[in-house]
Amino acid sequence: IATEHRPIEKTKGINGLDKLIIRDRHGRSVEVYLYGAQVTSWKNEKQEELLVMSSKAIFNPPTAIRGGIPVLFPQYSNTGPLPSHGFARNRFWEIETNPPPLITNCSSHAFVDLILRSSDDDLKIWPHKFVYRLRVTIGVKGDLTLTSRVKNSDTKPFNFTFGLHPYFAVSDISEIQVDGLSNLDYLDQQKNRTRFTDHEKTITFTSQLDRLYLNTPDTIRIVDHKKKKTIVVHKEGQVDAVVWNPWDKKVSDLGVEDYRRFVAVESAAVAKPITVNPGEEWKGLFQAYVVPSSCFNGKHDSKKSCIDHPHILKT
Ligand X SMILES: O=P(O)(O)OC[C@H]1O[C@@H](O)[C@H](O)[C@@H](O)[C@@H]1O
**Residues found near ligand X in the complex (CB under 6 A):** 64, 77, 84-85, 165, 189, 210, 242, 244, 266
Contact 276, 157 (CB under 8 A): yes
Is 200 a known active-site residue? Answer: no
Nearer CB in complex with ligand X: 242/307: 242
What's the rounded Cα separation, in Å, for the pair 181 and 153?
36
Least separation in angstroms between CB 272 and ligand X: 17
Catalytic, out of 257, 266, 281, 309: 266
Is 257 a known active-site residue? Answer: no
Catalytic, out of 165, 199, 300, 309: 165
Nearer CB in complex with ligand X: 77/238: 77
Within 10 A of 84 (CB to CB), how many other CB atoms are there?
Answer: 13
- Give the amino acid at 292: P
Mention every residue, 6+ apart, whose C-beta is less than 8 A from residue 139: 106, 108, 145, 287, 289, 310, 312
Nearer CB in complex with ligand X: 82/134: 82
Nearer CB in complex with ligand X: 99/255: 255
Nearer CB in complex with ligand X: 79/147: 79
Our CA angle for 244, 82, 56, nearest 5°, is: 45
DSSP labels, the chain: ---SSS-EEEEE-GGG-EEEEEE-TTS-EEEEETBTTEEEEEE-TT--B-B-B-TT----TTSPP-BSB-EEBS--TTSSSSSTTBSGGGSB-EE-SSPPP--BS-----EEEEEEE--HHHHHHS---EEEEEEEEE-TTS-EEEEEEEEE-SSS-EEEEEEE--EEE-S-GGGEEEES-TT-EEEETTTTTEEEE--SSSB--SS-EEEEE-S--SEEEEEETTTTEEEEEEEES--EEEEEE-TTS--TTS-TTGGGGEEEEEEEEEEEEEEE-TT-EEEEEEEEEEEEGGGGTT--S-GGG-------B--
Nearer CB in complex with ligand X: 223/263: 263
Least separation in angstroms between CB 191 and ligand X: 12
Least separation in angstroms between CB 77 and ligand X: 5
Least separation in angstroms between CB 51 and ligand X: 15
Nearer CB in complex with ligand X: 24/210: 210
Least separation in angstroms between CB 209 and ligand X: 9
Least separation in angstroms between CB 56 and ligand X: 12
Least separation in angstroms between CB 53 and ligand X: 13
Question: Which residues are the active-site residues?
Answer: 165, 266
